[in-house]
Structure 1
Amino acid sequence: MPIRPHQVQAVPKPLVEGLEKLRQDLDIPEDFSPEVHDAARHAASNPRFPELDRTDLEFVTVDPEGSRDLDQAVFIEATETGFTVWYAIADVAAFVNPGDAIDVEAHVRGQTLYGPHQRTPLHPPELSEDAASLLENETRPAVLWQLTLDATGHQTARTVQRALVRSRAQLTYREVQEALDHGTASESLQLLKTVGQLREQIEHERGGVSLQIPEQEVETTNGEWHIVHRSALPVEGWNAQISLLTGMAAAEIMLEAGVGLLRTLPPADNASLRKLRETAKALRIEWPSEMDYPEFVRTLDPERPDHAAMLYSCTLLFRGAGYLGFNGETPENAQHAALATHYAHVTAPLRRLVDRYASEVCLAVSAGELVPEWVTAALPQLPKEMEASNRKASAYERGIVNMVETFMLSPHVGQEFTGTVVEVDETGEKGRFIIRKPAVEAGIKGVDLPFGQEIRVRLVAAETGNGQSRFELLQPSELAPSSSTGSSGAASVGSTSTTER
């Protein structure tokens, strides 16, 4: 996610027109209709509470700072044979009825869209940021997963049912990381680290892989907008492993029942793998023939320019993710190749439409009941709806990042920067490069672009309104002897300074 979801700041004047045009071009609504707001207020006042009360479990939420749409709460305890992971997921179906105004609008939107200045939520804020959100010290209906693990972190049992829960604290990733680093974290959070690390090891053994590429993020601080490359904290990975564990358990339930909705990614073809090995060879990165792809990826350091270029090339194998609905027969080729297992989305129903449907399948199957007809009727269409929503979300995020990039760069037209070439086409004359600081990704044209190596470029144009910047490649003869830029190799882009470091 390249946009920080918690920032709500005034839009700088040069960006106002461009951001509004982007929203109009992508048909992104500003608000919900009065009918949907009225339905949400009524639903918030009339939830369907489950009979089971598990407010005794000491749940906490762990999210980015300032989040209000809290989908998940976690509590982990040690047992004689391993661990019990309790994972509470916001129960959207306790408020939303099939076919009502909220449900119809959710199908139009598909997911929550994030901008640095505003959210475009999947559900009205009366629900997504209030009545249905797992807020601190509030009793909420939830889909409660109980996942039993052995001492090595492997799942040995699973149950899911509706229950009332109460989060004890709303924590941020940084707060939890600092508590773990200083030894002040609760026992449950210490076990989050333990279980997270065990699950990461299991992922490695299974052949799963995660690309550790620093993401571009739009941040706003004291009214100023800028872009940074941000690497995830370790606790974010451990927390993600709990969500992945739950999604895998959900996939198992649905596959055994022969009905459900999976998140899929096709396996890499041999041609793509051969191309990656050729890329590694071109970058002079050692990739032994007996080393498989996941193990190779784990040897790469994103802070090294040549390794960063290799990691960007590896994204080739992550393309083609989608959803697969099925009812009546077990689907073939339904694995998520990056995870090397079957997987389903069930842990973010406030922000993603499919999760509510997949959760309802799991609840019905686990209770020995028929899957509701409103769920099975939607299974054929949901993958198409989510595909359209994902395209819109990607275009929106990329459009915002492009505009903020040009906004930051616009005062520095004519200045020089150092970047790393991370992509080159077949001709060798067109590619993409990244600048570490400011965190910019851009296209470049030139002869024999040096893939995986640093280049010196000059900013020729930066048009904030349409989010387009243009750089030209500098030849060695154009470089001044005094143009050294130290460790960052980039001009400093801030609100007042234009001095090179």
Structure 2
Amino acid sequence: MKALADPDNALAHGLATIRDQFQVPDAFPAPVLAAAEIAAARAPAQHVDRTDRRFVTLDPAASTDLDQAFAIEPSGADLLLHYAIADVAWFVDDGDALDTEAWQRGTTRYLPDGKAGLYPPILAEGAASLLPTGPRPAVIFTVRVAPDGGVRLDGAERAIIRSAAKLAYDSVRDSDLPAGFAELAGRIQAAEDRRGAARVDPPEQEVAALGDGTYQLAFRPLLESENRNAAMSLATNMAIADALQAHHTGLFRVMAEPDARAVKRLRHTASAFGLTWPDAMPLTEYERTLDAIDPRQAAFMLAIRRAGMGASYVPYRDGVVPWHAAMAATYAHATAPLRRLADRYVVRATLAIANGQTVPDVVTEAFTRLPQVMARADALSGRIDRAVIDLAEAVMLHGQEGQVFPAVVTDVTDHGARMQLRDLPVVANVSAHNVTPGDALRVRLTAADREQRTLSFERIN
């Protein structure tokens, strides 16, 4: 899970249990490793030489599975984003052992103590990764970004690139980045605001030791470099989605807006955190006012993320415009093929249409099967993420049994109430009847079971 850091290994035992429970693989089968060894030695043969163009990567400092590298150049009033994406399809053949294993996994699975990759490390963190250790095969998408933030796919090509630098979010300087990086990100973000996009990027959660044997959940707001980097991926995925839709093909990421009940729960959650959300202000407008530096606002940003209707994948359908409510746009996933199975096929389709070629039948057929495969993978990742959060909450509150917490009812269930603690980013059930959403409660923690990853509260008022 990328959104929870555990530098002191407070969760180690519980994480081992979670890995066992959800059968998170700790290795690849021998045939897959053998196929990866052979694939890693495959020399690029369909790629133009773009090693004269200065590409860089920007990621967490410890990352080695680098999907994206970028270069930027002006073109009149526009900016051209050359977004290089790891050419995973060059190494993975349809139906081979690597492909079969990737269809079983669907995505890379993240936990605080490590990940279970979609592809073996010799590829994902070696030959296919856009590391600055030598030339790498890539697919370069050239995206034209207008002054108003409008995006258009100008071209796509297989190319050999050489990353000039592996830059890290927490240490990068403006002088390390291509000229136009901040301007491009600003254009994309301004366009989001005008569209009314509701893309929320919550801060990372960290398990912090307090020094007395107890822990707390703390927040690390995203750095400006992270938000700007995300804008490049957003621009590319939107441009690709528009191109695919125009050519009557593709696989799209869609998401409905939170329904009225979810928004009502969020209003009660905002009240629990002491936040002022004007009655007449829509959620999409209010969430753009939130500041992740404030712990309560940061916790509310996480609540918004969890309240979403959930994103899914759909293939192209005649007469249907796929829509992602949070992006307020037609959207696709194409920029993380080392970590998501679906991206490999979207990249292949985009490469074909951008060069006047027919999308391969195997790709079109994959678009019909991928929604179910990705839904299963996403659901499993969601269950793992929820288990990790439950564990972190139990570790944080262990030893505080008997303490009283203020809370607010956010929803009523058949078995009681769902509540949000006022001072902690914890949502839990409590046996409380004759209450309505928005009611204030005082609850006592009766158990924080780290083994079962459960919290128990009793109402005291």
Cα 1:312–1:29 shift into 2, 3 Å:
closer
The offset of 1:270, in angstroms, is 6.1
Shift of 1:473: 4.7
Q: Does 1:252 align with 2:242?
A: yes
How far off its partner does 1:49 sit? 4.0
Residue by residue over 1:383-430, the C-alpha shift from the partner in whole angstroms, topping out at 9 and shown as x without a partner, is: 0000000011111122123223323433x1436365664833368952
**Contact 1:136 1:166 (8 Å CA) reproduced:** yes
Write the distance in 2 (CA, Å) between the matches of 1:82 and 1:375: 32
Partner of 1:158: 154
Letter of the 2:94 counterpart: P
Q: Tell me, yes or no, if the aligned pair for 1:77 and 1:85 is still in contact at 8 Å.
A: yes
Separation in 1 of the partners of 2:441 and 2:181? 42
The separation in 1 between residues aligned to 2:306 and 2:394, in whole angstroms, is 27
Cα distance change on mapping 1:276 and 1:421 into 2, 3 Å = closer
Matches for 1:6-85 after TM superposition, within 5 Å: 15-16=12-13, 18-85=14-81
CA separation in 2, counterparts of 1:121 and 1:35? 16
1:126 aligns with 2:126: no
Alignment of 1:442-481 (within 5 A): 442-446=428-432, 457-473=443-459
Q: Please state how far the C-alpha of 1:455 moved relative to its aligned partner.
A: 6.7
- Tell whether the 8 Å contact from 2:269 to 2:420 is kept in structure 1 after alignment: no
The secondary structure found in structure 1 opposite 2:163 is strand
Which residue does 2:188 correspond to in 1? 199
State the shift of 1:457 in Å. 5.0
* SS at 2:446 equivalent: strand
Q: Secondary structure at the match of 1:175?
A: coil
Change (3 A) 1:187 1:301: closer
1:337 corresponds to = 325
The answer to whether the aligner puts 1:299 opposite 2:289 as a matched pair is yes
What secondary structure does 1:378 align onto?
helix
C-alpha distance in structure 2 between counterparts of 1:275 and 1:398, whole Å: 19
Is contact 2:257–2:309 with CA below 8 Å preserved after alignment? Answer: no
CA distance in 1, matches of 2:45, 2:189: 35
- Distance apart, 1:77 and its partner CA: 2.5
Bigger Cα displacement from structure 2, 137-146 vs 397-406: 397-406
How many residue pairs get matched? Answer: 458
Contact 2:12 2:113 in 1 (8 A): no
TM alignment of 1:100-499, pairs within 5 A: 100-156=96-152, 158-176=154-172, 179-180=173-174, 185-186=175-176, 188=178, 191-217=180-206, 227-268=217-258, 285-287=276-278, 289=280, 291-301=281-291, 314-315=304-305, 318-326=308-316, 329-410=317-398, 412-414=399-401, 416=403, 418=405, 421=408, 423-425=410-412, 430-434=417-421, 440-446=426-432, 457-473=443-459
How far off its partner does 1:307 sit? 5.8
**1:197 partner letter:** G
CA drift at 1:288: 6.0
Kept in 1, the 8 Å contact 2:4–2:204? The answer is no
SS in 1 for 2:188: helix
Instruction: Normalising by structure 2, report the TM-score.
Output: 0.87
**Per-residue deviation, 1:90:** 0.5
| Preserved contact between residue 160 and residue 362 of structure 1 (Cα < 8 Å) | yes
Q: Distance in 2 between matches of 1:333 and 1:150?
A: 23
Separation in 1 of the partners of 2:346 and 2:152?
A: 21
> In 2, distance between residues paired with 1:31 and 1:8?
23
User: Once the 2 structures are TM-superposed, how far is the Cα of residue 470 of structure 1 from its aligned partner?
Assistant: 2.4
Going from structure 1 to structure 2, the CA distance change for 1:306 and 1:45 (only over 3 Å counts) comes to closer
Query: What's the offset of the Cα at 1:79?
Result: 3.6
| Separation of aligned partners in 1, 2:275 and 2:55 | 48
For 1:197 and 1:330, how far apart are their aligned partners in 2? 34
Q: CA deviation at 1:362?
A: 0.3
SS at match of 2:286: helix
Q: How far does residue 278 in structure 1 lie from its aligned partner after superposition?
A: 8.6
Q: Is the contact made by 2:55 and 2:71 (CA closer than 8 Å) also made in structure 1?
A: yes
**Pairwise CA distance, 1:15:** 4.4
| Contact kept? 1:47, 1:94, Cα under 8 Å | no
Which amino acid in 2 is paired with 1:340? A
TM (norm. structure 1) is 0.80
How many angstroms does 1:440 deviate by? 4.9
Stretch moving more, 426-435 or 368-377: 426-435
Task: For residue 441 of structure 1, report the CA deviation from its aligned partner.
Answer: 4.8
CA contact (8 A) 1:137 1:169 kept: no
CA deviation profile, 1:233-275 (whole Å, cap 9, x unmatched): 2221211111011111111121111111001112455676677
CA distance in 2, matches of 1:286, 1:4: 27
Instruction: Work out the CA distance in 2 between the residues paired with 1:164 and 1:421.
Output: 56
| Unaligned stretches of 5+ residues in structure 1 | 476-501
Q: Deviations over 1:296-329 (max 9, x none)?
A: 3223456668866865664576213100113xx5
What letter is aligned with 2:403? E
CA pair 443-237 structure 1, distance change in 2 beyond 3 A: farther
Give the distance between the partners of 1:300 and 1:429, measured in 2 at CA: 31
**Residue pair 2:88, 2:128 contacting (<8 A) in 1 also:** yes
Q: Deviations over 1:95-115 (max 9, x none)?
A: 000000000000000000112
Unaligned runs of 5+ in 2: none
2: CA distance, partners of 1:169 / 1:367:
30
Name the Cα RMSD after superposition: 3.6
| Alpha-carbon distance between aligned partners in 2 of 1:405 and 1:466, rounded to the nearest angstrom | 11
Provide the secondary structure at the position in 1 that maps to 2:451: helix
| Equivalent position amino acid for 2:76 in 1 | E
For 2:62, what is the secondary structure of its paired residue? Answer: coil
Please, which moves more after superposition, 330-339 or 454-463?
Answer: 454-463
Matches of 1:279 and 1:463, distance apart in 2: 25
* CA-CA distance at 1:68 after TM superposition: 1.0
CA change 1:170–1:420 in 2 (3 A) is: farther
Instruction: Name the amino acid aligned to 2:63.
Output: S
Deviation at residue 154 of structure 1 after TM alignment? 2.3
Q: Quote the offset at 1:174 in angstroms.
A: 1.2
Distance 1:168 1:430, change over 3 A: same
